[in-house]
Chains A and B, each alone.
Chain A
């Protein structure tokens, strides 16, 4: 199969009259039946003419060309036209010979020059708005990215903290588990370590009502809480605990009241070792700002040690 280059060479030889009659007929028949081939033959003729006017043909071909092309007015006209076209093409050379792909900006500017001033103004305005819009979007985009990054960091911190808390919780649970196990191992687990006694105003102040404080063997302290009446408002309080026989057991001074759900209370702890199984009297005194004590009430209770 003949390549395009071979075809081209054959066409040139045909145009220069260097082929046999048979080959000439073959080329002509193909040209008359195939428009593409006819076009290629015409293009080859144009290129040959150009090569001639540019002195690019070797001497033998040049002579053949002159014999073949310079005898008819039509072909001479073609040769002269090719010469003129080459001259104008060379003269039109500007900055560079290579017709580089025109830049989009250059094309736009060229196009814009042909517009009327109103259209030019409108386009410039649109361009300015577009640039401003694009800049704003870029700034927004950047801020958004920064915010997203910060949120991401925050999320990671929270995850880390959550993880730490989970670990801590796990540790606490383990500890609680081991403490529970230890408590189970101890036989006295059921008894509270602190004995509590709440003394209410009113009945407990009277000898007729006796309150009991049960002190288990495991209890180290007895927590005594005295609920005050609204009028018993002093900066300091003193509590004196004694047996019914008058033996003083404990005096606690400088006590302050505190608010609880039940009202104002004064509380203090007594070592259980100081309490025997007996009946006791507790005197509560309010100490005013002048330092003078004022009796507020006497409470009676008994201690039981099972």
Chain B
């Protein structure tokens, strides 16, 4: 079951258009400093370590909502954390905050699916399908930022990332075999190395665009 659209509308043709000015979900309970402190205390006695755990949990929640196809994974993740903090503030004993938050996230997905079902409209009342949203940000600046980030990589890493994603199916397989030979690593290691480089590059490019005020990528 996928995550329903909270801030947009779902069209039967399968196209989704985010509506920034659409209905906003209002939480009945908002996270206070006291509630956040309580959450951190539940995550561990050391505040620094607890903060790291909090960030891990939030990252996983964002991933989960993203995987479930939610249009605003960050907001859903925050909502799940807020609900957990609320329970803690109400004196509920939670053994494993991370697992509890994941449970809340899945409940949120179910809740919103039910709301989606209520909002379902007959096909004849649905608007015409829309094309996917246009790319965000100026492509020229995006490419420039990406190139700059690539230039910051070591020659070896630059070679790896460019060759790893170069070519069509067969060529790509050939390239990756060549890379495995060059770096002397198995396919799984090469794949993870390429993935981490890709994530780093993506983050670098986003930061570059933000610095130039050309958000958002």
- The answer to whether A88 touches B167 (Cβ under 8 A) is no
Whether B132 sits at the interface, judged by CB under 8 Å, is: yes
A69 to B73, CA, bound (A): 12
How far is it, in angstroms, between the C-alpha of A83 and the C-alpha of B137 when the chains are bound? Answer: 13
**A252 interface hit (Cβ, 8 Å):** no
Task: Confirm or deny: A305 has a beta carbon within 8 angstroms of a beta carbon on chain B.
Answer: no
- CB pair A98 B69 closer than 8 Å: no
Q: Are B142 and A80 in contact (CB under 8 A)?
A: yes
Query: A88 contacts which of B102, B143, B182 (Cβ < 8 Å)?
Result: B143
Bound together, the chains give a CA A17 to CA B10 distance in angstroms of: 15
- Inter-chain contacts of B84 with A (CB < 8 A): none
| A32 to B, closest residue via Cβ | B60
Stretch at the interface among A20-28, A139-147, A172-180, A254-262: A20-28
Q: Which residues of A sit under 8 angstroms from B198, Cβ to Cβ?
A: 46, 85
The answer to whether the Cβ of A14 comes within 8 Å of any Cβ in the partner chain is yes
Residue A39 at the chain B interface, CB threshold 8 Å: yes
* Chain A, residue nearest B177 (CB): A98
Cβ–Cβ contact B168 & A85, under 8 A? no
| Cα distance A70–B17 in the bound complex, in angstroms | 9
B178 near A81: Cβ-Cβ < 8 Å: no
B81 lies within 8 A of chain A by Cβ: no
Contact in complex: A74, B66 (CB < 8 Å): yes
Q: Contacts A71-B69, A81-B217, A92-B166; is A97 near B174 (CB within 8 Å)?
A: yes
Whole-angstrom distance between the Cβ of B44 and the nearest chain A Cβ: 18
Q: How far is the CB of B96 from chain A (nearest CB, A)?
A: 11
- Interface residue A93 (Cβ < 8 Å from any Cβ of B): yes
Q: Give the chain A neighbours of B206 by CB distance below 8 A.
A: 77
Q: Are the CB atoms of B66 and A72 closer together than 8 Å? A: yes
What would 16 more interface pairs be, CB under 8 Å, given A17-B2, A29-B102, A98-B171? Answer: A17-B68, A32-B60, A42-B195, A43-B194, A45-B67, A71-B8, A71-B18, A71-B71, A73-B18, A73-B216, A74-B73, A76-B133, A81-B217, A84-B143, A84-B146, A97-B166
